[in-house]
Amino acid sequence: MKIICLLIVGVLTISSCSSKKGTITEFERVLGQENSETLTYLVQDFENDFLANEFPNLEIDEAYRQFILELRDGKNHVWRKISKNSKNLFSKSALRYEIYSVPDSVWIEYDKNNLTSSLKVIPVLKIRRKSLQQDGTFLYGVTESIFSYKEPINEDSIVKKYMNYVDVNFVGSYIRALNSIPNKSPFLKNYIESRNAAGLLSPIIIVNRMLSSNVDFNDYFIKRLIITEIAY
């Protein structure tokens, strides 16, 4: 009887591992080989460089958890210790354009037909973003918004600031790869649904959801979400 039970456990374990491997394979297929390799490198560098140095006495999963806890508790200094070389690599990679819709240009316009109660012209911030499409070309779009400011307006500093404001690339391979994942965990399903509906989520929201869901920090996908949504 004991032998039969052990055999059943063994078969279920093999089946589970096979299913997980297939899920990862599908995710990486949709994301693309180069992008998958870049993302895997960033995960490994984050573990071997940042986590190993910041939390040397913890196992990797506990180090991830501690990193998350420190961010939750407002200890944002840990962000500054992440490898600058890896940050530069990510910023220049194709993966960044698959994940984000990136500002192409930022400018301010003054609409004389749009006045305050004191007859002052209200400046309008305009951002032209580009989103990498499946065929390798970019889709462009312009958004505009009223923003808070102090007079006199320092246009150069505002433009520089908003050139770093990215959004979700809704047509990129990253979001398609996330949506392709079968048998998603409740956390992952909720995260992807929220991202599809609302765009970028605050890192603090993601941190709190991870902790309340008691996610497995050894999980392939959880590690990659920490890299793409929190660390970089």
The predicted-structure confidence for 143-177, as pLDDT tens digits, reads as follows: 998 877 777 788 899 999 999 999 999 999 999 99
Lowest mean pLDDT of 104-113, 182-191, 222-231, name the range: 104-113
User: 3-state DSSP call for residue 124?
Assistant: strand
Residue 8 has pLDDT above 50, yes or no: no
Q: Is the pLDDT of residue 135 over 80?
A: yes
**Residue 81: per-residue pLDDT:** 75
Strand order in the sheet with 121-132: 138-146, 121-132, 100-115, 167-168
Q: Which residues neighbour 16 within 8 Å (Cβ) at sequence distance 6 or greater?
A: none
DSSP states of 69-99: HHHHTT-GGGGGGS-HHHHHHHHHSHHHHHH
The pLDDT, as a whole number, for residue 20 is 65
Q: How confident is the model at residue 5 (pLDDT cuts 50, 70, 90)?
A: very low
State mean pLDDT over 26-44. Answer: 96
| CA distance linking residue 105 with residue 51, whole number of Å | 35
Task: Report how far apart, in Å, the C-alpha atoms of 172 and of each of 12, 98, 103, 177 are.
Answer: 35, 5, 15, 9
Per-residue model confidence as pLDDT tens digits over 68-120: 999 999 886 666 678 888 989 999 999 999 999 999 999 998 876 655 555 46
% of residues, the chain, pLDDT over 90: 68
Average pLDDT over residues 50-77: 92
Distances from the Cα of 185 to the Cα of 162, 210, 218, angstroms: 35, 12, 14
Place of tokens 């923003």: 147
| pLDDT of amino acid 194 | 95
Q: State how far the Cα of 159 lies from the Cα of 141, in Å rounded to an integer.
A: 17
What residue type is 151 in one-letter code?
Answer: E
Instruction: Please provide residue 50's backbone torsions phi and psi, each rounded to the nearest 5 degrees.
Output: -70, -60
> Which 3 state secondary structure label does DSSP give 177?
helix
The DSSP 8-state label assigned to residue 57 in this structure reads: T
- The Cα–Cα gap between 182 and 107 comes to 42
Do strands 100-115 and 167-168 pair parallel, antiparallel, or not at all (unpaired)? Answer: antiparallel
Q: Tell me the three state secondary structure of residue 61.
A: helix
